[in-house]
Chains A and B, each alone.
Chain A
Amino acid sequence: MNFELTADQALLLQSFESFLERGSVPSGAHGYVAYSSALQDELGESGFLDVAAQEGFGPLEAAILAERAARSAVSFEFAASALLGPLLAPRGAAGAPTALLWSRTAPARFLSHAKTACLFDGADVLVAAVAPSQVEPADSVAAYPMGRLKTVPKDARRIAGAEADALRRRALVAVAAEAAGLMRGALDQTIDYVKERTQFGQPLARFQAIQHRLAEDATLIRAARLLALRAAFTDLEDDAATACFYAQQTMRKVIHDCHQFSGAMGLTLEYPLHLWTYRLKVLQGEAGGRAEQARRAAAAVWPRRDAESWRRRAEAV
């Protein structure tokens, strides 16, 4: 158990951060979605998306970068490509960006720009190469580019059993890590704002009612990140479902607080808060939402067995 980044991890994160700084971030106006296809392309060439397959690294490093990537105001697909990519590559995938689909018909993030679609279809997973012509854009409040499949490609590969379970675990980690980073981005923006905005003769940051809620949010967000990173490391069903549950539960309070403390500025597009909160709102319902995560976690933490194994489970903790 070691929470300090190793020298290699620190170097990786540092070089990823410099990549993000010099990347093609649209300056000034960011619009509603702020997706950067230029940055997405540069990312594909950079090698960062393959981090989990590099020697000495794995899903943990992919999750560390995914969380960091999501703090950015500019949007690009990282988490699914980096975390599921290595498992999908031998399975007919066409490479990054990868879009995660939780239904055949619902709009999905990044699908309009994706090369690979990973569709969670009941207990199975369908993997297919996709082209923009197979996708129709979807109107949405989300601050992600959203698209929906016209039809599920006929040549989609069906993956079942343990391989499908492994993909689902990675997807839950991808959602959890991205959510943790988005929450952090929203919180950082809100903290900057409450330090500047003055009401009743003092900055909002001085009001204890606001301080306490932001301190609670910071605590929840820090824990959400650690739970996501642990799940990436352990690759256990209970950890993955718990991390995703916690992120989806936590974001409800964080989204509300950040908007509440940003006032009407938070409703404008010149103030970027929606770039995090209106992405989080998509993640809140992904993978079945926290109700489904709770089912998954409960089944993993408390598998229904005989009374004796229940007792042992209770004693073992």
Chain B
Amino acid sequence: MDFAWSSEHAALRERTRRFLEAHLPADWESVASQSPGSDAVTRFSKAFCPKLDAAGLFAPHWPKEHGGEGASAWTPFLVGEEMWAAGEPRGPQYYNVNWLGPTLMKYGTEAQKAHHLGRMRAGDVVWCQGFSEPSGGSDLAALRTRAERRGDHYVVNGSKIWTSYARQAEYCFLLARARPEGRAISVFLLPMSREGITVRPIDSVVGDGDLHEVFFDNVAARDDELLGAEGEGWEIVRYALNFERVGIPRYALALKTLHRAVAHLEAGGAFGETAAQAAVAAYAACEAARLLVYEVVDERSRNAPSTGATSMARIAVVAAEREVADFVLDWTPELFTAPTHPMVATHHKRAIAAGLAAGAAEIQLNLIARDVLGLAGRP
């Protein structure tokens, strides 16, 4: 056990910072202050990601056979911290490299890998996740969308809700029920241009392009669009979500926001004793979240079995987001409207979603109680 960065990791972080300095335009923060699924950020990401890839910073953790360098699980995290703190210039494409690609590598056919991984690496393809439904959000098992077998293909009927990036997306990672009986679900990789798919944006407080309804009306899905075996969806989703639950290093933007708020108070001579107490509580919550997330990354980098760290990390991250958001509301509310600080309001919007994206955080408390503390079993 040690808490020092290797020289290789320190250099990677430095390289990422230099890349961001060189490639983010002066007005980037006002672009980034729009949501990741907005037209502006999506457009920016399609120009940015290919450059990031050329610099070896987009998918260095992918294996060599898929164009990566086989770098350790730490690599995407270190890069991810810098990207998220900078307002996530990869837009919706961050999860292509984080979990979508790795999930396809594990479960995809050779043809699926050849097509989709190549597109992802090219840095100009947006995916959406067809997970939540009106009848099943955190309770994913309640999902009702059907993929009915008809001759040589499936026919999908149902609807998804809260789907991020759906309007921009070229593909959907779709969960549907191929068998009416039992709990089994299946995963389809569907083009969003397919006839019968309708996307309706939902106005929201988190930003344009973040929430949609997606309707599937007799949508044809080919056999070669099924990921893994029919009914294998739960295993695939578990594998994917294990990446996604700590996929975003949210404490990185939270800390940056906190430092900016403190700098603002200090510049106005208003960073006194009481503010410092509150600021340190928020800072400590961020550092706690960071270490718990690092523990997950460390386990992943060693292929060690999970010790429940993932669920705990998620809980700590949600708490840290809230501490910082509250600090800003309490002490520097004027920053929400300051044209010099567009990312403060953005952080606030993203912090609201932290406890819900990838499933309600309370589910993680259930998992900790059951799997780590052994509280749910018979005495």
B255 touches A1 (CB 8 A): no
> Is B373 an interface residue, CB under 8 A from the partner?
yes
Q: Which residue of A206, A229, A234, A311 is within 8 Å of B375 (Cβ)?
A: A206
Q: What 1/0 mask marks residues of chain B from 356 to 369 whose CB sits below 8 Å from any chain A CB?
A: 00000010111011
Interface residues of B, Cβ cutoff 8 Å to A: 1-6, 9, 74, 85, 252, 255-256, 259-260, 262-263, 266-267, 271, 273, 276-277, 279-281, 283-284, 287-289, 291-292, 294-295, 298-299, 302, 304, 309, 311-312, 315-316, 362, 364-366, 368-370, 372-376, 379
Cβ-closest chain B residue relative to A61? B1
Kindly report which residue of chain B lies nearest to residue A203, judged by CB atoms.
B379
Q: What is the minimal beta-carbon distance from A28 to any residue of chain B, in angstroms?
A: 25
- Interface residues of A: mostly helix, strand, loop or mixed? helix
Known contacts A3-B298, A194-B375, A211-B366; A229 and B1 CB within 8 A of each other = yes
> How many residues in A have their beta carbons less than 8 Å from beta carbons of B?
56
Q: Decide: B1 and A242 in contact? CB cutoff 8 A.
A: no
Contact call B280/A212, Cβ cutoff below 8 A: no
Between A and B, 24 residue pairs with Cβ closer than 8 Å are A9-B1, A60-B2, A191-B375, A194-B375, A206-B376, A211-B373, A215-B311, A219-B312, A219-B316, A223-B288, A226-B288, A227-B287, A229-B1, A233-B2, A233-B3, A242-B280, A242-B287, A295-B273, A297-B280, A297-B284, A302-B259, A304-B266, A313-B259, A317-B252
- The minimal Cβ–Cβ distance linking A296 to chain B, given in whole angstroms, is 9
Say how far B98's CB is from chain A's closest CB, in angstroms. Answer: 19
Chain A residues 276 to 317 lying within 8 A of chain B, measured CB to CB, are 291, 293-295, 297-298, 301-302, 304, 307, 310-311, 313-314, 317
- Chain A residues contacting B2 (CB-CB under 8 Å) are 1-2, 60, 233
Q: Given A205-B376, A206-B375, A214 and B369 touching (CB < 8 A)?
A: yes
B288 touches A294 (CB 8 A): no
When distances are taken between beta carbons in the complex, the residues of chain B under 8 Å from A230 are 3, 291
Q: Nearest Cβ distance between residue B112 and chain A, in whole angstroms?
A: 34
A216 & B315 in contact (Cβ 8 Å cutoff): yes
Closest to A299 in B: B276
Among B276, B287, B295, B312, contact of A3 (Cβ-Cβ < 8 Å): B295
Find the B residue at minimum CB distance from A304.
B266
Closest 6 CB pairs of A and B: A211-B369, A223-B288, A298-B276, A215-B368, A294-B280, A226-B291
Q: A222-B312, A298-B280, A302-B262 are in contact. Are A1 and B256 (CB under 8 A)?
A: no
Could you tell me the distance in whole angstroms from the C-beta of B139 to the nearest C-beta in chain A? 15
Which residues of B are found within 8 Å of A53, using beta-carbon distances?
A: none
Q: Is the CB of B284 within 8 A of A3?
A: no
Bound complex: CA of A234 vs CA of B2, how far in Å? 9
CB distance from B109 to the nearest CB of A (A): 35
Quick check: A3 and B279 within 8 Å, CB to CB?
Answer: no
Q: A195-B375, A233-B3 are in contact. Are A297 and B283 (CB under 8 A)?
A: yes
